Structure 1
Amino acid sequence: MNNISTTTLTMKREFNVKPERVFDAWLNPVMMKKWFFTLEGTNKVAKNDPKAGGTWEIVDHRDGKDYRAVGEYLEIDPPKKLVFTFKMPQFSELEDTITVELKEISAGCEMTFTQLIHVAPEENWTKADMEKALGEYHDGSEHGWNLMFMGLKELVETGSISYKG
């Protein structure tokens, strides 16, 4: 599989809690199933083995279908940095790499989220087709993460998420 193109999505968010609380929300399965690629009302599986080389899995059930997201932890440095792979096997075997960095600020913490998005060309794609696809993957990922981060913020700051799916 060559001809893989990449684009980088970077997002920053602030939380009114300590970095440890946000870091825990990325790794604790009880918290993960409330916001991470799923919602408590639609989650079927939320499990992980949070150590370098360990894996994670989320299965979300929506509109009669199961959506499975999986990955492997590459680096865990609590409560500052988390690096892991991400893929949804039903759509692609390509793995993205996600880096989450947290730093304490006076109001709580700032999270810098970076996703290295990989896109494989379809047959007969032109350079313009690939550029369009990269833009769509970037914007679609940004939209999805934005929704998840709204839930994450509510979860870590209030202890629950009002929207249950």
Structure 2
Amino acid sequence: MKKTSTIVLTMARRLNASSNDVYKAWTKPELMKKWLFTTDSTNVVAKNDFRIGGVWEIVDRRGDEEYRATGEYLEIDAPHRLEFSFIMPQFNDLQDRIVVWVSQVRDACEMTFKQEIVVPHEEDWSEKEIETAMADYSGQSEEGWDRMFENLKQLVETGDVGIREGK
């Protein structure tokens, strides 16, 4: 069994949209394919079985490669809270946990995102090597989610995702 550590990434965004619209963007395949790990133009698969225990899946084609993100819904409290597992099997078989909270605040909403990132490492790694790996995983995840959240913002605020999709 591979040795792992866990690091928690938390991010927040204020979106000029209703909490219902933001929640739908996380759960409706026709909206998910516009921003969640993919874009409308590169999406190959966007589906979900939206129920506790149901599975969601996104497949994105980047050049000649396909990248798959999948997971299982663990908790659903529409339109305020969503919890699901997350795995990208082409990289490893480790499963992260993601929780999204969406709250209406006047004419906007606040979205808080938390990812418990499982970081693989070797048994003989020093504390410093483990800390470096955890920082790398967290930094790369934050960078990716930041780009996706910009696309989510465009989608829920304007109904469309613009040129930023390739960034």
How high is the TM-score relative to the length of structure 2? 0.95
Q: CA deviation at 1:2?
A: 5.7
2:82 equivalent in structure 1: 82
CA contact (8 A) 2:18 2:108 kept: yes
Residue 16 in structure 1 maps to residue 16 in structure 2 = yes
Code of the residue aligned with 2:34 in structure 1: it is K
Q: Percent identity?
A: 50
Offset at residue 3 of structure 1 (A): 3.2
Aligned to 2:141: 141
Partner of residue 46, structure 1? 46
Aligned to 1:63: 63
Q: What amino acid sits opposite 1:98 in the alignment?
A: I
Question: How far 1:38 sits from its partner (Å)?
Answer: 0.4
User: 1: CA distance between counterparts of 2:33 and 2:2?
Assistant: 35
Is the 8 Å Cα contact of residues 7 and 117 (structure 1) preserved in structure 2? yes
Q: In structure 2, how many angstroms separate the alpha carbons of the residues matched to 1:79 and 1:3?
A: 36
* Counterpart for residue 31 of structure 2: 31
Q: Any idea what SS the aligned residue of 1:139 has?
A: helix
The one-letter amino acid paired with 2:94 is L
Tell me whether 1:93 sits opposite 2:97 in the alignment: no
Q: Distance in 2 between matches of 1:90 and 1:62?
A: 13
2:98 is the alignment partner of 1:104: no
Which range moved further: 103-112 or 82-91? 103-112
Superposition RMSD in Å: 1.1
Aligned to 1:46, what secondary structure does the other structure show?
strand
Q: Is the CA contact (8 Å cut-off) linking 1:15 and 1:107 kept in structure 2?
A: no
Q: Which runs of 5+ in 1 are unaligned?
A: none
How many residues align structurally? 165
State how far apart, in whole Å, the 1-side matches of 2:102 and 2:2 are: 33
Q: 1:53-92 CA distances to partner (integer Å, 9 max, x unpaired)?
A: 0000010010210001110000111000000000001111
Point out 4+ residue stretches in structure 1 off by more than 3 angstroms. none
Of stretches 122-131 and 101-110 in structure 1, the one that deviates more from structure 2 is 122-131
Query: TM-score, length-normalised on structure 1?
Result: 0.96
Counterpart CA distance in 2 for 1:102 and 1:89 is 28
Name the counterpart of 1:113.
113
Runs of at least 5 residues in structure 2 that lack an aligned partner in the other structure: none
Q: What is the letter of the counterpart of residue 77 of structure 1?
A: D
